[in-house]
Structure 1
Amino acid sequence: MNEELTGDAAAAAARHARYGRLPERIRFEEMTQGVEAGPSDGMRASHDPNGAWKHYSCLALDLGL
């Protein structure tokens, strides 16, 4: 019985040594990155009615219902 307690205590000590404290706090400024946006070339934002079916997803259509 005493062996189990020392084993549990050793495991608890090892666990506490590894996970005992939280990592350092990261500031919001370090998590974000500013990127300058360029003018749009129009091709990416334009709507193509003939190619719109490529981006349409419907489970009933996929299953043939």
Structure 2
Amino acid sequence: MEHEHGPADADQARRSLRFSKLPEPIRLEDTTEERPATPHDTDSGAYNPDWWLIRMGGL
């Protein structure tokens, strides 16, 4: 009484190849992006470096 192991063994072999090793490490530099939160509109003069001081009533 021999069992047939065709498709199940093929699926198991495919899973073993896929999950048998860890993925390549990712450098921290590749996971972050530095850019300003809001681009400054210097052409129209709308940017004011002291906006927080004016808004908080410091002037």
Question: What band does the TM-score fall into relative to the shorter chain?
Answer: 0.3 to 0.5
Bigger relative CO (Cα 8 Å, ≥ 6 apart): 2
Higher helix proportion, which one? 1
